[in-house]
Structure formats: C-alpha cells, structure tokens
C-alpha cells in the first residue's frame, strides 16, 4: 500500500540530485525528472523566507498545498524555525521534496525540518483538524506558454482558498498568505487575482512583489496577503544580488505611471538606462526619487529592454545594490546626427575618437542579426586608435540622433 504521509527524518537520499549554485557548498537537492527546471533557486527561497520572518505571523506550522520539490517550504522552515506541511500530487516529486527537507536539515538548518511532513495527495482537499499560521501557494504553469492565464494554473486559487480558508490562523491583519504567481500576468490578470481573493477575504491587505535576479527580467511575481502585506504599500521590488552574502535591495511604494517626453536631450545631461524589471514593477520613479533627490528627470523610453531617462545631475548611489538597478549611466558628450549601419558606423567612430573613447557599448534597439556585426566593427576600430575612456551609445527615440555617453 502506498505511504501517503512522508517524514523527512525517514527520507531516502539515494535519488538523483542537482547542484544549485546559489546554495551553500555541499547542499544538493533532489528532483523528479519533470520538476527539475521548475525548482526555486535556494537564494531566492531564503531571501523570501527572511522577509516573511519579519511579518510576525502567528505561531503554528506552514502549509504549502502544491509544494513541488519543496525548496521554498524548506527555506521557510529553516529561516523561521517552524514545521511545515507540504502536499504534492505527484509521488516522485513528493518524495524528492521529502528528501530535500532532510538535506537542508542535515546541513545545519534545524530540527523543525525533520519534524515536518510531506503528503502525497490532492492539495485542494482541506483538513479542519489542523490549523496553519501561513499558506504558501505556487501553482504549476505550462512551461512553454508565452502568456500564463489563470485557467492554466493548477491547482486553481478558488479551490485552494475554499479548502483551507477555515484552517488558517488570523494575524492582526488577517491570515498570512503568499501566492507565488506567473511573472507573465498582466495588470488585468492581477486584478482578476485580487477579485478572487476578495471573494474569500473582503478588504484584506495586498502587496504585489516583483523579484528579479537581474538580466532585466522579473523572475518571480507574488501577492502577499493579510499578515504578510505591507500596510499602505501596494508594491515592492526585490533585487536579488549576484553575491550571495549581499542583502537584496528593496524598493517599496505605489504604482506611478511613466510618461514619455520627446524633448531632445542636451549635451552635458546624463542618460540612465534602468533595469527593465524595476520599470515593469511600476516603482522606477520611487528609485529615482531616492537617487536623484529633487532634481527633474525626463523619460524618453518607458518600455522594452532599455528604459531610458535623462537628468541634469549624476545619480547618488550609496550602495552596491543600488548600482544593480542600472544597465548604464553616463554624461552626454556628443549628439551624433546619423543612423547606425555598417556603412555609417564610421561617423560614430570619428566622433568617439574625438572624445577619447577606446570602448563603447551599444545600448539601443538594433536589429538582432546586426547587433554583433555593429558592435564588433565598433570594437575593432576603437581598439586600434581609441583613447582611454569607456562609455555607451544610446538613441533618442523618433529620430536618428545617437547619444554618445561617457560613463
């Protein structure tokens, strides 16, 4: 007969494992073949657990009714000193999760992991005999879908809420719930999620959290509810640094719509190309208000991979984490009135040499097939006769003017 309840202290450690580059040396994780690409990076799971730990949730265990390989549940138990209950429909994945809790426990993260439990079964079937301090849900999504609709999630939010609503312990601001959703949800879909939540917990506090590990991409989009929400704050952006020992950068506030202006930039102004994930979160102006103070700034590009803003003075960056929010920032030393092709790149090279550039990076929209050719030509010509300065080339939208920027 299949054993439905698994205990980490009895977990087998002989299955296939993988190394997570963000985990401590020697800590490996188990996986079922279908789940390996979907595992949450350990660094992301740990940093999230540390933020949850600050929310003062009630005493009690943590519930994850679609726990997958158990990485996030293990991080919660490790950082918060709580036991956890994970539920997983697929038996092989459930056994991998059980092994992962034991692996983390034996790496020095505490007895509570060994006292936890993984259940093989349907997470939409509740249990009123047990109360939980927090609910974490990361529904499965199709791997190759360009857009993730709510109907593609499994299990579905209403089914989970109906099953466990009466099993959640209320904190000062209601139950502690974290929904780990697809980063591809658009604003209408986010509104739909909020509407589903409101049907179960009217007027509950809500904070959307965008998490990025860089490359201008949102890696995680989550909705923090009730006791996990930030009072009077609707959005948070979390930038996970490449150095594991560094703390993440947090930017909080409310959505601010960005308005593009076609005012031509001036020589001597600064051009900053921001992290596209930060702009997607709607909190870019909150960051700029911290680093630019009261000076004015003008958006010239608000969408795509290279959001671009102009300002009169240099950014005041106090920490290495703040620097992670920039793709590039520099002062305009020359406005070059030309388009950029292999035939006209000499015009850019001549201007660059006049200002002592030995290295320039193209930070503008270029046809993908042409980008390496143009960058290669620029590198070769500047390396032979260029000067000591480094910088980048940006573009003013709606015309052929190139911005030659000194970093």
Token code pair at residue 158: 């209403």
Helix (H) or strand (E) holding 64: strand 62-64
Residue 39 CA from chain centroid, whole number: 14
- Do 374 and 343 touch, CB atoms closer than 8 A? no
Torsion, CA 192, CA 258, CA 242, CA 20, rounded to 10: 20
Q: Is 0.85 topped by the overall pTM?
A: yes
Decide: helix, strand or coil at residue 225: strand
* Rounded CA separation 99/121 (Å): 17
Sign of CA dihedral 322, 327, 329, 330: positive
- Do 218 and 277 touch, CB atoms closer than 8 A? yes
Question: Tokens 């300002």 correspond to what residue?
Answer: 311
Residue 180 has a pLDDT of 97
Rounded mean pLDDT for each run of 10 residues along the chain, 407 residues in total: 82 91 94 70 96 96 97 97 96 95 95 97 93 96 72 93 97 97 94 98 98 93 98 97 92 94 88 96 94 86 94 89 94 93 93 94 94 95 87 89 94
Query: Before 155, cis peptide (omega within 30)?
Result: yes
If you compute the radius of gyration of the chain from its CA atoms, what whole number of angstroms results? 25
* Cα-based angle 213, 215, 221 (whole degrees, multiple of 5): 50
* Rounded CA separation 66/199 (Å): 21
Residue 1 has a pLDDT of 38
Residue 211: which residues within 8 A CB-CB, separation 6 or more?
A: 44, 48, 218, 219, 220, 221, 222, 237, 238, 240
* Rounded CA separation 375/390 (Å): 14
Question: CB atoms < 10 A from the CB of 259, how many?
Answer: 8
Give domain 270-406's CATH architecture. 2-Layer Sandwich (3.30)
Question: Tokens 């930070």 correspond to what residue?
Answer: 363
* Rounded CA separation 374/378 (Å): 6
Determine phi and psi for 6, rounding to 5 degrees: -110, 145
Of the options 1.10.560.10, 3.60.70.12, 3.40.50.150, 3.90.1150.10, the CATH number for the domain spanning 5-253: 3.40.50.150
Q: What is the DSSP letter of 39?
A: P
* Rounded CA separation 224/181 (Å): 11
- Do 233 and 207 touch, CB atoms closer than 8 A? yes
Residue 34 has a pLDDT of 62
Instruction: Sort 3 into a burial class: Cβ within 10 Å, 0-12 / 13-18 / 19+.
Output: exposed
- Do 96 and 70 touch, CB atoms closer than 8 A? yes
Q: Determine how β-strand 84-88 pairs with β-strand 117-120.
A: parallel
The ranges assigned to domains in the chain are 5-253, 270-406
């Amino acid at each position: 007969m299949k054993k439905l309840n698994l205990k980490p202290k009895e977990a087998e450690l002989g299955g296939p494992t993988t190394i997570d580059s963000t985990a401590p040396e020697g800590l490996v994780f188990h996986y079922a073949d279908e789940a390996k690409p979907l595992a949450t990076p350990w660094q992301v799971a740990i940093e999230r657990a540390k933020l949850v730990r600050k929310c003062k949730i009630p005493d009690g265990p943590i519930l994850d009714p679609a726990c997958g390989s158990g990485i996030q549940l293990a991080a919660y138990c490790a950082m918060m000193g709580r036991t956890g209950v994970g539920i997983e429909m697929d038996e092989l994945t459930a056994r991998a999760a059980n092994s992962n809790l034991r692996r983390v426990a034996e790496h020095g993260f505490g007895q509570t992991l060994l006292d936890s439990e993984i259940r093989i079964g349907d997470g939409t079937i509740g249990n009123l005999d047990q109360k939980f301090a927090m609910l974490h849900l990361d529904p499965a999504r199709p791997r190759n879908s360009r857009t993730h609709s709510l109907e593609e999630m499994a299990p579905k939010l209403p089914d989970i809420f109906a099953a466990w609503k009466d099993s959640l312990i209320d904190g000062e601001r209601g139950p502690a719930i974290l929904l780990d959703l697809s980063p591809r949800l658009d604003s209408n879909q986010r509104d739909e999620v909020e509407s589903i939540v409101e049907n179960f917990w009217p007027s509950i506090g809500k904070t959307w959290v965008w998490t990025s590990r860089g490359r201008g991409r949102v890696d995680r989009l989550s909705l923090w509810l009730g006791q996990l929400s930030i009072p009077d704050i609707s959005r948070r952006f979390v930038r996970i640094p490449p150095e594991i020992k560094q703390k993440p950068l947090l930017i909080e506030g409310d959505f601010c719509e960005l308005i593009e202006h076609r005012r031509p930039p001036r020589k001597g102004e600064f051009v900053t190309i921001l992290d596209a994930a930060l702009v997607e979160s709607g909190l870019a102006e909150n960051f700029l208000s911290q680093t630019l103070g009261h000076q004015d700034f003008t958006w010239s590009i608000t969408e795509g991979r290279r959001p671009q803003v102009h300002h009169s003075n240099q950014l005041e960056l106090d920490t290495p984490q703040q620097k992670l929010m920039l793709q590039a920032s520099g002062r305009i030393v020359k406005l070059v009135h030309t388009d950029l092709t292999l035939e006209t790149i000499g015009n850019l090279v001549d201007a660059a040499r006049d200002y002592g550039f030995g290295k320039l990076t193209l930070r503008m929209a270029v046809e993908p097939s042409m980008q390496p050719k143009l960058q290669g030509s620029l590198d070769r010509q500047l390396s032979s006769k260029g000067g000591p300065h480094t910088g980048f080339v940006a573009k003013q939208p709606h015309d052929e003017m190139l911005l030659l920027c000194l970093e």
